[in-house]
Structure 1
């Protein structure tokens, strides 16, 4: 208890406020699953207040509960494949080499922030594990004394800054995959490939600006001198020796320890990918969530070398997917109640919300209000893909009504959706398991990032949004 008080007293300014907020969050903020459950009943109450009958509400709940089964599995696989790739021997060797690059404590923190964000643009699950292992590798250096809390917070910047502007963006992937879109949303938006969302020059410019700001804040907020708390001072074990695979004990296990089958699977995947690229536009292939996951899964198999080593890595990755598997059905139920439970005059809650956002009007005011709304909702519903399915039907209908570019509306959601992660520690959980830290150890630094990110994001969605023209949905 005394050490905790001393830690808080040693902080100044924003960092001290952030540590107080982290302590409050750790004590009072419920588990994300409990928040999702409460969200279902809140939405149900809104539908009843709108004039829906109890029978209509429970029918929408039950009928919609499994609407996202395919998408739930896909999002769980994003985490699993990222974890498997990050823990493979070749990537582990790469991490050890990268850990030798920084020369000062501050540059080490900003270096981890930059790499975690860069990796998150490819796969946010990979970013969490990669960033955590890189932070640990730097902390093991005997020639460099770095604050382990700041390193851990930097490793989280991929999820807290730009992940949703990259290839594994749940909302962008969903909008580009017709089979994963609920019919109600598909009728409003049509299919939006990456060329209309994450690959627009406005989105890429916004991503570059946010990355630059994040790196600078990470660099200058890293503790120095006596304020540094190393992993050793925090009693963190930094031994990252991989678990040994048991030797083959019987002839029937031969193929489990052979590279033959993984090589054949990788060759088949490569053949499929070449065929897809030869017959379809590149953006269509890149936007395919199923294809993206296939390539990453086979990459993990190839990097681990044998089926036995691969399956050992998968078993370690599965616990990190638990939150997605049990929460996404609740998000599907929320979306169904919002869009299907008709009330007075046959109007749903979703349609009322659409009318509200439409009343705001188009242009910069619409972009800013949608961004702020996304941030607030994200604090209570920490899920990029699940929350998009709750939010998208009325937000995208409003965007169509005020003739806001639909692709840019997705990116407004994406850039704003990352911000709550800097406050709500739900998505920190896999990283904390790697770092062997508590959320309160990191939130002081991530909250500082949030204070700078929020006004910058609001300014960018307004300014860059003025460069778009409205394009009707393509079905």
Structure 2
């Protein structure tokens, strides 16, 4: 896919940003290592913490997020698996025939990806790209010209609402008893009815979808603009999960749907009992609900194994990063940096401006800690302590950090990498469009946080 070289003002503005990101932004793992060193130095220079105490706090903290790390990896793994099940892929091929014009195609891809992201972020991240590719194939068959980089950008932009939805790691962590946020919440939990499913958050998510959908309609290529279509050699991404050869009795067992169906029904029964007996939504319950859905729709253990292998490659880097985030949290907690940073934030914020300033700071931190769960480990305790000092509702602090995390994902290349790999594009091909999403969503989220703080 060639890089778009239109001479629009938007592209002229974005060119230096493209160049900077591609040449100077290292991997998320490198950021985690550098951030560890920076926090260690800050602990020794800003507090009365010795090098030995820093090392001890770091080492003791490394294993502090093991349970949370597993929960986060499962959300990503199960989301990828769900996106690649046969029913979902068939649904995407059917949806690809819905838009009748190129202008509607861009908006349609964004809205579908946003809805999928609200269900689970791993699903939304992949569904948008797969749908963009399917629509590009259908458009080519119909003789309809669509700009493929804009389709992919629309699919990735749906990710901008993920932390407002069902799999939002920050709100779910705050709702999970005994989580690492519990000490900052007075060993209490904040139910998702006050965060994810609060009226103001759901209206905010709807507003972001409407505003950004309208923006994609407005920035669509016009007649004089260059349009790069999906290359003719690229077709619909057919299912590559070919049936395994069934030869032995053991193979017949592995190819049977009975076992996965029974396990899926068992999980559904557990979830029903959990909620009937007054259970609440937590990270674990979210994961088991997605696992139950996958078990009910796969055809056999063979297919489940294939989907797991396909999705597992996307989990490895997070497994390495989370112990580093836990170590950073260990240094900050043992040295008193959390209190120091929260006091500094309190000195510049007021109860009214707290939400907007927390959004901006979280958007900045997201460049260094692109994982939403990892960012809450590093920044969550600081913002909750600051909110407590200012008398701000902790649900506002949680959602402000969540908003900031999802906001700058639009220009942070970490989560875009799997999307770009599927689409065969580079970050510079979509960045001009996702930057528009950054602006539109940022205005909406800041306005919502300001309004609820009045």
Q: Give TM class, smaller chain.
A: over 0.9
Aligned residue number for residue 13 of structure 2: 17
Deviations for 1:253-309, whole angstroms, at most 9, x for unmatched residues? Answer: 11110011011101111211121121115xx1xx22112111211211222210001
Distance 1:246 1:361, change over 3 A: closer
Q: Is contact 1:78-1:293 (8 Å) kept?
A: yes
Question: Counterparts of 2:312 and 2:269 in 1: how far apart (Å)?
Answer: 28
Question: Which residue of structure 2 lines up, in the alignment, with residue 124 of structure 1?
Answer: 121
Structure 2 partner of 1:165 = 164
Whether the 8 Å contact between 1:66 and 1:332 is mirrored in structure 2 is yes
Q: Matched residues in 2 for 1:24 and 1:358: separation?
A: 33
Query: Following TM superposition, by how much is the alpha carbon of 1:317 offset from its aligned partner in structure 2, in angstroms?
Result: 0.3
1:443 aligned to 428, 431, 434, which one? 431
Q: Which residue of 2 aligns with 1:99?
A: 96
User: Could you say what secondary structure the match of 2:414 adopts?
Assistant: helix
Q: Over residues 86-144 of structure 1, what are the superposed CA-to-partner deviations in whole Å (9 max), with x where a residue is unaligned?
A: 11111111111111110111110110000111111110000111111111110111112
**What CA distance in whole angstroms lies between the structure 1 residues aligned with 2:146 and 2:387?**
46
- Distance in 1, matches of 2:14 and 2:128, equals 22
Three-state SS of the structure 2 residue aligned to 1:243 is: coil
Q: 1:215 aligns with which of 213, 216, 220?
A: 213
Residue 316 of structure 1 aligns with which residue? 310
SS of 1:133 mapped into structure 2: helix
User: TM-score w.r.t. structure 2 length?
Assistant: 0.95
Q: Paired residue for 2:319? A: 325
The correspondence of residues 181-330 of structure 1 with structure 2, limited to 5 A, is 181=180, 184-187=183-186, 190-225=188-223, 226-232=225-231, 236=234, 238-280=236-278, 284=280, 287-330=281-324
Assess if the C-alpha contact under 8 Å between 2:113 and 2:128 holds in 1: yes
**Mapping of 1:345-424 within 5 angstroms?**
348-424=336-412
What is the CA distance between 1:183 and its match in structure 2?
5.4
Give, in angstroms, the shift of residue 450 of structure 1: 1.4
Residue 44 (structure 1) aligns with: 40
Pair 1:133-2:130 in alignment = yes
Partner residue, 1:80: 77
- Give 1:356 shift: 1.4
Corresponding position of 2:415: 427
Whether contact under 8 Å (1:176, 1:191) holds in the other structure is yes
Q: Tell me the number of residue pairs that the alignment of Structure 1 and Structure 2 aligns.
A: 449
Q: What's the counterpart of residue 173 of structure 2?
A: 174
Task: Tell me the distance in 2 between the aligned counterparts of 1:328 and 1:41.
Answer: 15
Q: Which residue of 2 aligns with 1:470?
A: none
Matched, 1:54 2:56: no
Counterpart CA distance in 2 for 1:394 and 1:29 is 26
Q: TM-score, normalization: structure 1?
A: 0.91
Please tell me whether the aligned partners of residues 137 and 235 of structure 2 are also in contact (alpha carbons under 8 angstroms).
Answer: no
Deviation of 1:241 after TM superposition, in Å, equals 3.5
Once the two structures are TM-superposed, the CA of residue 249 in structure 1 deviates from its matched residue by 2.4
| 11 and 314 in structure 1: CA distance in 2 versus 1, 3 angstrom threshold | farther
1:186 to 1:363, Cα distance in 2 relative to 1, 3 A: closer
Kept after mapping to 1: 8 A contact 2:54/2:331: yes
> For 2:441 and 2:92, how far apart are their aligned partners in 1?
28
Superimposed CA distance per residue, residues 29-53 of structure 1 (whole angstroms, 9 cap, x where no aligned partner): 1011101110000000100102310
Preserved contact between residue 85 and residue 303 of structure 1 (Cα < 8 Å): no
Contact 2:200 2:448 in 1 (8 A): no
- Secondary structure of 2:297's aligned partner: helix
Q: Partner residue of 2:109? A: 112
Q: Match for 1:35 among 31, 37, 54?
A: 31
1:50-87 Cα distance to aligned partner (Å, 9 max, x none):
23100100001100011111111111111111111111
The answer to which of 96-105 and 298-307 deviates more is 298-307
Correspondent of 1:71 among 63, 68, 73: 68
SS in 2 for 1:156: helix
Distance apart, 1:443 and its partner CA? 1.3
Residue number among 453, 466, 473 corresponding to 2:441 in the alignment: 453
- Judged with a 3 Å threshold, the aligned counterparts in structure 2 of structure 1 residues 14 and 100 are, in CA distance, closer, same or farther, namely same
Distance apart, 1:223 and its partner CA = 2.0
Aligned equivalents of 1:323 and 1:154: distance in 2?
Answer: 26
Mean Cα deviation higher: 456-465 or 327-336: 456-465
